[in-house]
Structure 1
Amino acid sequence: MAVVALPAAAHAQENSGSGIEDIVVTAQKRAENVQDVPASVTAIGQEALDLRQISSVSDLQSQVPSLVVGNLFGTNLITLRGISTGLTSGTDDPSVATHIDGAYQPRSRSIDVAMVDLERVEVLAGPQGTLYGRNATGGAVNYVLRGPSKEFEGEVTGRVGNYDRYGVSGSISGPIGDKVGVRVTGLYDNQSKGFTKVLNANAPRDSLEQNRVIGGRAIVEFKPTERLTIAVQGIGLDSKSSTAFFPFAPSLDAGINAASRPQSYKAHEVYTDVDAKLNSRYYQGIGTINFELTDNVSVKSISAYQDYHQLMVIDSDGSATAPFRGPTTSITNSKTFTQEFNLNASLFDDRLKSILGFFYFNDKVDIDTSLTIFSTGRLRFDTLQKSKSYAFFTDHTFSVTPSVRLMAGIRFNHDKKSALQSFFIDRFNGTTITGLAPTTTQVSFNSWTPRVGIQVDLADKIMAYAQYSKGFKSGGFASNVTAVNTYDPEKIKGGEVGIKSDLADGRVRLNVAGFYYDYSDLQVQSAALVSGVSVFRVRNAAASRIYGVEAQLQAVLADGLKLDMSGALQSAKYTSFLTCNNTAFLGACGSAATSTLVDVKGNWLNRAPNYTANVGLEYETEIGSAGKITLRGESYFSGGVYYDEFATPLLKQDPYSLQNIFVSFTPASDRFTIRAFVKNIANVDYKSSAFFQTSAFQQTGTWGPPRTFGAEVTARF
């Protein structure tokens, strides 16, 4: 398991000799050395985040084994160990739970705000149903933000790059008196030229996938006594960008195909007549209270409120001829409140470490979507979903002997959801067909998610573990559908065994984990034909089996020379799934009379490559008395990725690899740092997502970023 050292402020403790640093993480909701955590955890600290230019969740893909990240119309699709979501309606839940300073993030697009002021990222692979609850079937990603510093300090970073990118960010941090600390951070980043070239001269934009971001964060930390800490922070991000619709092949519908010409099926170029938008505003407030009742017992409260708004306007056909007579427009508004209480205790001379917790979730999301369809009319969808959830959980680790520890925990979760949904078709001749009058539906679910396990210290700095756990992803309602569509939770159960070791006097760190999961009641999308329009449905129609092995290595090869490697081999296949194949022929999923069910048993799960590998080599050296220079090269390798259950050739990404290079220089005075980078050096074209566009009867998707390069300067005071 590759673990990147954190700076001293992030609780790094250097091993004896010139070895690999230890990192203290909070993956199990208590502070502990990452090598003592009985799970696969990857931690990336601030210094590495800066050097490797990790500025979005997509950048983590080249750092974490078995992690695959795609982006589809503003939605971050995160896959861990073959577990992901295939739903894209907007009200669906993720399969990997994401938290910012302990606050759960229900909207995947809002994750990027965490990149404003990061101290570290922790990625936990495998079901985390006991400690993290709902929607952690694949794992959890924790973003830990920087707090106020003990001394007054500040920094300003200016950056430039290709695609007309420029920006500036900065922070000021320090104490106000003896009991109050403050940190304020701001960000402006503008990429005015997009990755995708628009081919037609009369288009509203000459490129797509440009991005402008303005954001900021402020945190005030108050410590009235040695045992009580109160922190209040506010985060805001305003983003204006655009997203592209990339056809991979002509439409199966002859009329749409004729009306859509010309189209381009090449990467990073498109025809469009639409002023595409992907704009979002995000605000979040987090209040944290940590009270140490005694030296061994503490109570923590995390309260968070989030307000998220998104406007998406996309071209529905990827052509300049407007066969659909207008764009697809979607407006999302959501408001979320979460509350968590944790009681941590270390008892019986630290032999028993326990946590008791309560979690409450209240979420309201409203999605309005309109889609204009050739020869039919305008479709209007409206979904207002309200969700309430509460959970009680407890987890314990008991040292039977100094070298043997037993683990046991359980969580009870109750979900309740209601949805007000409507659907209309407005004909172009002025008539209106009511597809679904405003209808309110309600569902509720209960779930128990336990874990049990054992840890054994085989020798000094060598620990083995085994555990069994369960997880679930919440059920709910699909939005943008023509009838009420409910589905049940997904369920996962299975085990993990692993070994964590520090060898060669701390100069080598080798961690290996094996896993096996039964993954059932998968929530899958399928299509149906309604009033001549193909729309999707969500149902619990699949089961699968996932197993594999991960290995992560860090080694100090010589003074200043470090190697980090990680990789995963896995099998993630359906064991049961009968469905219709929309890509086979036009109308394949149109009705019971014409639809053809296909058994995809044995096919690979979506976004689940059979292997991934990351290799990085980093060299740091002093240049006389001038300062320090760091050079890093890294490669990411991925096996083939299927984006649908039928192994459709155009909805697959063949095996590929990406290479990046980074360099930084810091003078002896440490007053500034200069960094430069090139990502995707070979300018490889690869699909980051793919799907069958049911309204256009067309195979489509998105492409990963092309070659990017740039430089930045950070000045400290």
Structure 2
Amino acid sequence: MNRYVKTALLAGAAWSALSTTALAQDAETTAAAAPQDATNIGEIVVTARRRAEALQDVPVAVTAFTAEALENKGAIDITELARSTPSLTLNSARGSNSTLISFIRGVGQQDPLWGFDPGVGLYIDDVYVARPQAAVLDIFDIERIEVLRGPQGTLYGRNTIGGAIKYVTRRIGDDPEISLRGAYGSYNQFDAVGSISGPVSDTVGISASVARYLRDGFGENLTTGTEHYNKDVTAARASIEWTPADALFFRLAADYVQDSSNARHGHREFAPILDDEYDTRAGAGDKNDVETRGISLTGEYTVNDMLTLKSITAYRDGSTRGNIDFDNLPTPTLDIPAQYDDDQFSQEFQALFEGDRWSGVAGVYYLDATASGAFDTVVGAFNLTTLTSGSVDTKSWSAFGDFSYDVTDQLSVSVGGRFTHDEKTGTVFRQQYLGIRSPFFGNAAAIPLGAPRTNYTDTREFEEFTPRVSVTYEISPDLTTYASWGRGFKSGGFDMRGDAVLYPDTVNGYDPETVETIELGLKGRLFDRFSFATAVFDSSYEDQQITTQYPAGATVASVVDNVGSSSIRGWEFEGSLRASDNLVINGMLSYIDAQFDEFLAYIPTGPLNTTCPLLVGCFVDVSDSRNFQNTPEWTGSISATYTHWLEDGSTLAFTPSAAYRGDYQQFETPAPLLDQEAYWMYDASAVWTSASDRWTVGFHGKNLSDERYKTGGYSFPGAATGNSIIAFYGAPRTFTFRVGVKF
């Protein structure tokens, strides 16, 4: 009970001040136009609860970005959402150009290895994307992007214990349209996007988009002479929409992404250190190729005014081939060549209900997915390679429902739940070889060193019921408050790196983790000039899955275990103020207090082990010396858009912005050479739009102070591994000039 009381008290002061102001707003109204931005919650319609609702009416912490708002900011890919979304961290994975790492409110998964599930769900047009490879989606041909914070275990289910990101593409309009967009910028950046859409008959419409992104590297591989941190991406989408009758609608959609950018090897943070953070001396090779494809069929049948039936059938697959040079040296001191493959089939059926005082959605979901891969751990000092390979097959089904009832014109209650059953079959193989690289990666002369260290196949089943309850109260037509309680669930699995010699229990896998969150929120508009959303939350994180990697003799070992529990509390605010007819000010601020209550770290065997018996490892509670990764205590941003109307009817909008991120760690264990200190990021955009809205010309500056900030890293100290402490950095200062035209 104390937990609920504390959360209520935390919200009290802000709620009373804002609600008192709102009750007086009827006496002072204005005819000013509503600001068009992400926080203009009264104007944006979202599908956060799988049905179309005004953002103000949704009892969920949601940030929604329209295509226009993102274009005006010059946003390139979805990682830029973290600059203006509370409690959100989005980065490219360590050593990757297009693999997505996401955390919301301290919950996520940094390890994109096959078999490890993300903690934040990514959806493309309501299709769950099971793997993070090629998930750093470039922003083109979209309608909006929604970021749902907190566990979404009822309606989204799989691996959304931190939240969900919904990438919503544009639907085909009633009129034909052709749009072209080109950009040129720093480091010889060249972007080209072309789209065509429109009806081909009274019942059929088609659309197609192709995007090409090229950029020279921010740095150089001084060993091979190739570019480092470059970009070479091709993306495409196409859809066909068919409306054979007023009550029937079908959409067949396909997407494709190929990332041929060079491998990213990072920057040594321990001697020898290069002056430029984007340079490397890696000798492992620059080959990198990532490819993903997806196709989906959505069907909707409006039975009557009260019932709509919906089906979503989808298939996706992908492959990754690449290298990461952990030592950043020309010699193979610690090199990791790797390949991943994955595929997934999903089927979802929904029934959407709508009555005079009630609405809801119910359905069933099925997923059949396989993720597989292999990598070498090459330790040149010992002429030793450890091959790790395997796969995880997942079969998951669930049944869910969420219903809302308007008790009065002001009071609404929602109740939902989801039952999930997962079956996972894991195969793990780990073998050491004498030689540089294993036969799997081209060295046929490598000699097996003893029996496999890990060689097993096992199956485990996991079940969980995740309920959610919320109460919404409309204080006034422009102000809504809500309280919610819900649970999220991420199933257990098998450690693909597990070494059964060092840690015999790895063959048993690890258990599921859960997050339980209570949240109090307030959304609305004040004086027709200020729209806002604020929330406080309190989360209990149980059986947390943590990956720990450490040097073990002549190789690198891994342990994945349910380390214990933690408490996460915080406050979020985002708002938009129309200060004048020309000026709109937007901002957000979030605070997170994330603490481990218990952290059972595995202490391996070895001569330096003074805590446990020398022949048997053990678990020790080290919660006092561990902190959450990728979770700054404070994040915030502020921007101002000044729009000037020219005599010919065209507009010129200027938007400077500043974003702040507090200190954060790359891992739960502090790593002074890798952990990132607090920093500010400054951007500015100027966009001209013709009176007909046909032409747009933009100039965008990013990271104007040229801040060098770390987005990830690896830490393998020790002579055998070449003191491989490497960091990966975000983009430096860049300028981009864009031109767009519509026909």
Q: What is the TM-score of this pair, normalised by structure 1?
A: 0.91
Distance 1:513 1:453 in 2: 14
The residue identity in structure 2 corresponding to 1:304 is: A
CA 1:286/1:40 → structure 2, altered by over 3 Å: closer, same or farther? same
* Distance in structure 1 (CA, Å) of the matches to 2:668 and 2:267: 19
Q: 1:314 to 1:592 in 2, by over 3 A?
A: farther
Q: Using the alignment, how far apart are the partners of 1:528 and 1:640 within structure 2?
A: 24
Select between 489-498 and 699-708 the one with higher mean Cα deviation: 699-708
Cα displacement (A) at 1:168: 1.1
Q: Which residue of 2 aligns with 1:393?
A: 400
Task: Determine if contact 1:277/1:314 at 8 Å carries over to the other structure.
Answer: no
Shift of 1:23: 0.9
2:469 paired residue number: 452
Q: Is the 8 A contact 2:631 2:664 kept in 1?
A: yes
Deviation at 1:395, TM superposition (A): 0.7
- Paired residues for 1:419-430 under 5 Å: 419-428=426-435, 430=447
Residue equivalent to 1:70: 91
State the Cα distance separating 1:57 from its structure 2 match.
2.3
Q: Which residue of 2 aligns with 1:231?
A: 251
Matched with 2:154 is 130
Confirm whether residue 629 of structure 1 aligns to residue 652 of structure 2.
Answer: yes
Q: Structure 1 residues 590 and 317 mapped into 2: Cα distance closer, same or farther (>3 Å)?
A: farther
CA contact (8 A) 2:434 2:447 kept: yes
- Alignment partners' CA distance in 1, 2:420 and 2:272: 52
CA distance in 2 between counterparts of 1:637 and 1:527 reads 30
Q: CA deviation at 1:590?
A: 12
Q: Which amino acid aligns with 2:473?
A: V
Counterpart pick for 2:371 among 365, 386, 393: 365
Deviations 1:171-208 (CA, angstroms, capped at 9, x unpaired): 111101100111111111111x212333x3xx223331
CA deviation vs aligned residue, 1:327-371 (integer Å, no higher than 9, x gap): 421111111011111101012x2x111211111111011101122
Q: Structure 2: where are the runs of 5+ without partners?
A: 1-13, 15-29, 37-42, 436-445, 501-505
Secondary structure of residue in 2 paired with 1:115: coil
Equivalent residue letter for 1:661: A
With over 3 angstroms needed to count, the CA separation of the structure-2 counterparts of 1:529 and 1:158, relative to structure 1, is closer
Query: Could you tell me which residue of structure 2 aligns to residue 713 of structure 1?
Result: 739
State the 1:145 CA deviation. 0.2
**Contact 1:521 1:541 (C-alpha < 8 Å) held by counterparts:** yes
Q: Percent identity?
A: 26
* Structure with more of its chain in strand, by fraction: 1
Letter in 1 for 2:354: S
2:697 corresponding residue in structure 1: 674
Q: Please state if 1:240 is matched with 2:245.
A: no
Aligned length: 683
In the aligned structure 2, how far is the partner of 1:431 from the partner of 1:130?
A: 48
Paired amino acid for 1:295: D
The structural deviation recorded for 1:149 is 1.7
Instruction: State the AA in 2 paired with 1:611.
Output: W
CA shift at 1:494, angstroms? Answer: 2.0
Q: Match for residue 230 of structure 2?
A: 210
Q: Separation in 2 of the partners of 1:338 and 1:303?
A: 6
Specify the alignment match of 2:126 in structure 1. 102
Distance 1:181 1:352, change over 3 A: same
Matched residue, 2:46: 25
Q: Residues 500 and 171 from structure 1, CA distance in 2 versus in 1: closer, same or farther, beyond 3 angstroms?
A: same
Whether the 8 Å CA contact 2:548–2:560 is kept in 1: the answer is yes
Is contact 1:82–1:546 with CA below 8 Å preserved after alignment? yes
Give SS of 1:220's match: strand
2:172 is paired with a residue whose SS is: coil
For residues 178-327 of structure 1, what are the structure 2 equivalents within 5 Å?
178-191=202-215, 193-198=216-221, 200=222, 203-250=223-270, 262-264=272-274, 267-324=277-334, 327=335
Of residues 56, 59, 77, the one that matches 2:77 is 56
Question: SS of the counterpart of 1:110?
Answer: coil
Q: CA deviation at 1:529?
A: 5.7
Q: Give distance in 1, aligned partners of 2:724 and 2:609.
A: 13
Evaluate the alpha carbon distance shift between residue 28 and residue 114 of structure 1 in structure 2; reply closer, same or farther with a 3 A threshold.
Answer: farther
Q: Which residue of 2 aligns with 1:167?
A: 191
CA distance change for structure 1 residues 528 and 267 in 2, over 3 Å: closer, same or farther? closer
What is the CA distance between 1:155 and its match in structure 2? 0.9
How far does residue 25 in structure 1 lie from its aligned partner after superposition? 0.8
Could you tell me which residue of structure 1 aligns to residue 439 of structure 2? none
Partner of 1:7: none
Quickly say closer, same or farther: Cα 1:415–1:431, change in 2 above 3 A: closer
* Equivalent residue number for residue 726 of structure 2: 700
Structure-2 separation of matches of 1:319 and 1:448 = 50
Residues 612-691 of structure 1 mapped to structure 2, 5 A cutoff: 612-625=635-648, 627-691=650-714
Q: Do residues 150 (structure 1) and 174 (structure 2) align?
A: yes
Partner of 2:336: 328
RMSD: 2.3
Which residue pairs with 1:480 in the alignment? 497
Q: Which secondary structure does the structure 2 equivalent of 1:49 belong to? A: helix
CA distance 1:316–1:411, change in 2 (3 Å): same
Structure 1 Cα separation of the partners of residues 551 and 273 of structure 2: 25
Change (3 A) 1:526 1:383: same
Residue identity opposite 1:237 in structure 2: V
The offset of 1:263, in angstroms, is 4.2
Shift in CA distance, 530/689, structure 1 to aligned 2, threshold 3 Å: closer
1:64 Cα deviation from its structure 2 partner: 0.6
Q: CA, structure 1 residues 528+78, in 2 after alignment: closer, same or farther (shift >3 Å)?
A: closer
CA offsets 1:280-317 (integer angstroms, 9 cap, x no match): 11110011001111012101111110011111112131
Conservation of the 8 A alpha-carbon contact between 2:417 and 2:466:
yes
1:476 alignment partner, SS class = coil
Q: Structure 1 residues 219 and 177, CA, compared in 2 at 3 Å: closer, same or farther? A: same
Does 2:519 correspond to 1:496?
A: yes
Deviations 1:411-435 (A, max 9, x none): 0000000012211111137343332
- Alignment of 1:525 with 2:573, yes or no, is no
Give the aligned residue type for 2:63. T
Q: Which residue of 2 aligns with 1:557?
A: 579
State the alpha-carbon separation in 1 of the partners of residues 86 and 253 from structure 2. 32
Shift of 1:670: 2.8
Question: For the residues of structure 2 that align with 1:110 and 1:320, how far apart are their CA atoms?
Answer: 28
Which of 344, 352, 377 does residue 344 from structure 1 map onto?
352
Does 2:36 correspond to 1:36? no
Normalising by the residue count of structure 2, what TM-score does the alignment of the two structures yield? 0.88
| Map of 1:11 onto structure 2 | none
CA contact (8 A) 1:580 1:588 kept: no
SS in 1 for 2:352: strand
Query: Residue 586 of structure 1: CA displacement?
Result: 11
Structure 1 match to 2:68: 47
